[in-house]
Amino acid sequence: MTIVKPVSGPVVGQPIERLEDLRLLRGEGRYVDDIHLEGMLHGAVLRSPMAHGRILSVDATEARAMPGVHAVITAADLPGHDHPDGVPTIPIRLFPNPGMDPFRQPVLAAERVRYVGEPVAFVVADSPELAEDALDLIALDIEPLPAAVTSENRGEGQPALYEGQPSNRVWGYNAKLGDVEAAFNGAPYTRRERFYVHRHTGITMETRGVLSQWDPVAGTMTSWGAAKVPFQNRKMLAQLLGLDLEKVQMIEGDAGGSFGVRGEFFPEDFLVPFCARMLNRPVKWIEDRREHLLAISHARDVHCDIEIACERDGTIRGMRVRADVNIGAYIRTSTTITPRNVSMFVPGPYRIPNFASDVAMVVSNKSPTGTYRGPGRFESDFFRERLFDLVAGDLGIDRVEFRRHNLLRSDELPHPLPSTAPDPHDSELDSGDYGHMLDLCLAKFGWDEKKRLSGKRIDGRYHGIAVGCFIEGGAAGPAENVRMVLEDDGKVSVYTGSSAVGQGVKTILTQIAADAMELPMERLQLFHGSTTYVKEGFGSFHSRSTVMAGNAALIAASELRSQILAAASELMQAPVEQLRYEAGTVCSEAGATMELTALAGRGIAYEATFRNSKHTYTNGAHAVHIAVDAETGKIEIVDYVGIEDVGRKINPLTLHGQAVGSIVQGLGGALLEHFVYDGEGQMLSGTLADYLVPLATDFPNIRSQAVELHPSPFHPLGAKGAGEGGTIPVGGMLGNALADALADFGVQPRDLPLSPARVWHMVQQGRASAGRAGEG
Amino acid sequence: MKLPDLDYCAPASLEEVVALLSANADAKIISGGQSLMPVLAFRLNAPSVLVDLGRLQGLDRIEIGADHVRLGARVRWIDIERHPALRTAQPLLVAMIDHVAHTQVRNRGTVGGSLAHADPASEMPGFARLVDAVIEVFGESGPRELSAEDFFLGPLETVLEPTDVLTGVRLPAWPAGRRWGFQEVARRRGDFAMAGVAVCFDDGTDGAVHDMRAVAIGAGSTPVRLSGVEAFLEGRVLTAELAEAAGATAGQEVSPMVEDAGEADYRRALVMTLTARTLKQAAGLEQE
Ligand SMILES: Cc1cc2nc3c(=O)[nH]c(=O)nc-3n(C[C@H](O)[C@H](O)[C@H](O)COP(=O)(O)OP(=O)(O)OC[C@H]3O[C@@H](n4cnc5c(N)ncnc54)[C@H](O)[C@@H]3O)c2cc1C
């Protein structure tokens, strides 16, 4: 893609280079670990070495006596430890329900440990090294209990994690559309399959970190290291510390990635400020990589039992889904999203008139889970698209035609999604031409030529192709704020509650605000994330910031322009009706002009709130061509094409980066990344030598294209949330392409990841059954 | 993942290194640090003193002589990659070392560190076994030489005494016209191999294979010489069928050190496939 320098005229739609980059590339980024405060101490977390056990004692006497150690806190040192309610627990941010309260995570384990890596004590010392030394001196006595590791069959037959709970299936969601029983009754064709998407998550290059400072005079707490949702975390922290909201500030610096996992409220987000206040010294804690792999939200880990009913011509009559989500040991801030999304999004962009799902949240002795790029959607797309290829094969229908036949047509939109219970949040597919997107993808990919390669062995490798369609939800409400201030030098400051986690929010919002103010981008300065900037903010998740903060910026700009005209009218002594705002200049009908600098000191400012409850649905199609070495099981991506309709492209360059990065992350999940646990609940992939994230050399052949054919009808900007879409279809694509490549062996992958050893085993099984068939 | 409390010294002579190692029972040599630093950060080992070889003169030299090539213990992977003459003098060495790790690690990781660390999946120990390299050591009683065959005892275990410094490795000169093949399978480029096989042999005037050598890495507790394959092929004219048959033999000579039985089967199969493929590669036979 060619990069054009900012031009005069509108900048929305231009591939502007990221404003963020120059500073970051020069090493001028300011991450939480770059901040050093006078008198600062360092924390380290003692984590449970055992997946499940009863805590008999935590003896910190020796650690407390160690020179350089300032404090060791255990559950017994926390408020509430002697109350029936117990020590503070982490609130549930999304779709909380009082029924979930017993499963909230205490900030330090009090009676039981439920996963390897669960915080049990927190040490504060002069240096991070000393703090880590002191961890070795804490005597931890845990009586082991049998570990529950799997969620299959709703965790039945597994040791119980919570006393008094009949099973480990602690919560769940159901969704319904139409009459699924009727659809299956007398259906000419049905097929039932079981699939599994393994546990993996987003690995941020910068690990988490918190630095907190208590001001005893003002009674205020300031915390650095916020990312993603600072405003919500501020509320949680204020409540847990018993402080008024205004007494707590969260400061967002640069953040080395979020992908949905980083920036939620974790135990350390309480422990660090708690100790800072207790010791009246700044305390910093920086997560190390080994901790990160255990302590960050894990994701996926979903078993699905899925059944479809079709007519002989391939028309889908209905679909039934029963899924078990292994949510790990506790319900944390965003744990509910994956199961909710699985319950709603298996139909994707297709016409499934009758649908029913029953999704269980099953607790286990693994790390707690949360949202990760395309939560529940990556999984849903794997289940659906894998099933579709099997069904098309059974019915003798071309897999492209099967999809085209069942895709929703433009004239069927908006189309309601299945409604989830409990806590429904109804949503409908907004706009688009899904069939057209499929055609664009096939054309760009060269499907008709590549079709000939399907299942062929060339130079010792088997070739396979696949195509599938997807939707991506975006623009979660309820609202976002943008405050604009006309500064004395004629610049406009833009403050937003959205967060920058590497997605280019600063560039995007500056572009939108620049156009709205008809000013060159240099005359805008953007501030984001910190709770000091706007009254209320909602952060960055669910592909929302461009839409939500972008529309708020439009409202703020329009109000700012009215205020400018009103102030100018006074100074120019001309009625407002006779004034025009034009590219940063106020012009009167009489021909007089006034620059914005002339309005200095007039307090021109406005904080706008954009409210929205309607989601946007970016949509599109992906296609992939792989080559497989059947003897080594290695899969090479020969070509990958992703096409998406984002409604309106604010910045094609940052969008392209999001799309390609997102596909790579999907490929990592489909092929490489895997949290492996043994039967005792020990995590075996505890380093980046075992948990394999994609490297720059792994997937060089990715093509991505965005179009803007169907703007969102629900808001003025027209853009649809994008950034997760690339990840969503990838698992299904790879599973289908592998089945296509290894058709000779009858390989039908039902589980991810497609590691070389797994692929090799599937080939062996295929050979064995072919051998048996030959003998028989 | 913070280093334990330890002392650091960087002596300028081998004698001083040995004296420090003798005086401090739990002292550890540090060379490139690419294997040792993670061990320290994970606190799997907490030596009282780190003895850095960085100030010793001459340990980073590559000498190409008439009857051998000598690599000093502090020769780095990047030095091997960039050396103008090594690719002709020791083509298989260079081809194997091309697969070691990623740029950052290659800029620091060393030949001596790799041999002393003795990871069974490492390329350098595999090559040393294949060509019967001579390993040079300086210890309490001065310099001595060890054969690669006797050197490796198990995973991360060698015959080196705690007071020994590995100073270099001598590789017999590579005969002109010697044929070779090397392939490995790693999850990602630069990762440790799940399995790898290197073969070499000389062409006789009779068209048959002479001085047949084969080694597997990642397939046992040390690099494994595939002596069954060597005996099977010695003196025979290599064909695709023989290469396949040799692959089957190789499978019986290795026992991959992984707990999961399915994973072990997979790695054994890799050794079989890679043996057949590298033999064909060496002989210039069509890979079918
Ligand atoms: C991400 C990553 C990927 C890697 N991939 C590969 C790979 O694919 N293939 C591969 O072969 N290696 C790989 N390595 C290992 C790398 O090559 C190491 O550099 C090498 O194995 C050790 O060399 P070093 O100089 O770093 O040794 P150090 O880490 O300094 O030392 C390793 C051990 O050897 C001892 N030691 C070092 N030098 C001497 C000496 N002269 N005498 C006696 N004892 C000594 C030390 O005391 C220590 O116990 C990888 C490493 C990393 C971090």
Q: What is the CATH number of the domain that holds A437?
A: 3.30.365.10
Distance A288 CA to ligand 1 centre (A): 22
Q: Is position A349 within any domain? A: no
Q: Is position A410 within any domain? A: no
A689 CA closest ligand 1 atom index: 1
Contact at CB, A698 and B194, closer than 8 angstroms = no
How high is the pLDDT of residue A154? 87
Distance B106 CA to ligand 1 centre (A): 10
Contact at CB, A672 and B4, closer than 8 angstroms = no
CA distance A212 to A249: 10
CA distance B87 to B105: 21
Report the complex ipTM: 0.96
CATH number assigned to the domain covering B179-283: 3.30.390.50
Ligand 1: residues with CB < 6 A are: B 28-36, 53, 73, 100-101, 105, 108-110, 112-114, 116-117, 119, 122-124, 160, 165-166, 190-192
Residues of B in contact with A755 (CB under 8 A): 187
Q: Is position A279 within any domain? A: yes
Q: Look at ligand 1, atom 37, and give the residue with the nearest C-alpha.
A: B113
Q: Strand, coil or helix: what is A605?
A: strand
Contact at CB, B266 and A757, closer than 8 angstroms = yes
Q: Is position A315 within any domain? A: no
B59 CA closest ligand 1 atom index: 41
Residues A581, A602 within the same domain: yes
How high is the pLDDT of residue A1? 42
- pLDDT tens, A5-48? 545 679 999 999 999 999 999 999 999 999 999 999 999 999 99
Distance B31 CA to ligand 1 centre (A): 8
Q: Which of A129, A634, A761 sits opposite B185 (nearest CB)?
A: A634
Length of chain A: 776
Distance A708 CA to ligand 1 centre (A): 52
- pLDDT tens, A621-645? 999 999 999 999 999 999 999 999 9
Q: Which two tokens stand for residue A583?
A: 């590219």
Residues A620, A707 within the same domain: yes
Residues of B in contact with A761 (CB under 8 A): 262, 265-266
Percentage of residues in chain A having pLDDT higher than 70: 98
Q: Using alpha carbons only, how large is chain B's radius of gyration in Å? A: 19
Residues A133, A273 within the same domain: yes
CA distance A181 to A226: 48
Specify the CATH architecture of the domain B62-172: 2-Layer Sandwich (3.30)
- The answer to whether the beta carbons of residues A303 and A194 sit under 8 Å apart is yes
How high is the pLDDT of residue A501? 84
Q: Which two tokens stand for residue A237?
A: 């922290």
DSSP code for B260: -
Residues A656, A545 within the same domain: no
List the one residue out of A258, A503, A473 whose CA is nearest residue A381. Answer: A473
State which residues form the domain around A217.
Answer: 33-145+203-295
Count of domains forming chain A: 3
Contact at CB, B191 and A692, closer than 8 angstroms = yes
DSSP code for A670: I
Residues A700, A562 within the same domain: no
CA distances from A204 to A208, A262, A517, A634 (A): 8, 7, 35, 26
- pLDDT tens, A674-689? 999 999 999 999 999 9
- pLDDT tens, A86-130? 899 999 999 999 999 999 999 999 999 999 999 999 999 999 999
In a mutational test of the B interface, the residue from A207, A632, A637 whose CB has the highest number of chain B CBs within 10 Å is A632
Residues A54, A129 within the same domain: yes
Contact at CB, A288 and B1, closer than 8 angstroms = yes
Residues A26, A39 within the same domain: no
Residues A522, A607 within the same domain: yes
Cis peptide before A422 (omega within 30 of 0): yes
Chosen domain end from A262, A295, A328: A295
Residues of B in contact with A135 (CB under 8 A): none
Residues A83, A25 within the same domain: no
Which of A610-630 are b and which e, b meaning 16 or more Cβ less than 10 Å from the residue's Cβ? bebebbbbbbbbbbbbbbbbb
Nearest residue in B to A457, CA atom: B288
B76 CA closest ligand 1 atom index: 25
Q: Is position A42 within any domain? A: yes
Q: Is position A721 within any domain? A: yes
pTM attached to this predicted model? 0.96
Name every residue whose Cβ is closer than 8 Å to that of residue A764 and which is 6 or more positions away in sequence.
none
Nearest residue in B to A684, CA atom: B259
Place of tokens 């009758």: A354
Residues A704, A588 within the same domain: no
How high is the pLDDT of residue A6? 46
Given CB atoms, is B8 within the 8 Å cutoff of chain A? no
- pLDDT tens, A368-382? 999 999 999 999 999
Domain residue spans of chain B = 7-52, 62-172, 179-283
Would you write out chain B's pLDDT as a tens digit for each of its 288 residues?
999 999 999 999 999 999 999 999 999 999 999 999 999 999 999 999 999 999 999 999 999 999 999 999 999 999 999 999 999 999 999 999 999 999 999 999 999 999 999 999 999 999 999 999 999 999 999 999 999 999 999 999 999 999 999 999 999 999 999 999 999 999 999 999 999 999 999 998 888 999 999 999 999 999 999 999 999 999 999 999 999 999 999 999 999 988 888 999 999 999 999 999 999 999 999 765
Distance B110 CA to ligand 1 centre (A): 6
- Tell me which residues of chain B, numbers 237 to 276, contact chain A at a CB-CB cutoff of 8 Å: 262-263, 265-266, 269-270, 273
Chosen domain end from A261, A295, A329: A295
Q: Do the two domains B62-172 and B179-283 of this chain adopt the same fold?
A: no
- pLDDT tens, A705-736? 999 999 999 999 999 999 899 999 999 999 99
Residues A752, A676 within the same domain: yes
**A761 or A537: which leads in pLDDT:** A761
How high is the pLDDT of residue A81? 81
Average of per-residue pLDDT across A138-143: 98
Q: Domain B7-52 adopts which CATH fold?
A: 3.30.43
CATH number of A75's domain: 3.90.1170.50
Distance B118 CA to ligand 1 centre (A): 8
Residues A636, A585 within the same domain: no
**A1 or A397: which leads in pLDDT:** A397
How high is the pLDDT of residue B288? 57
Residues of A in contact with B185 (CB under 8 A): 632, 634, 756
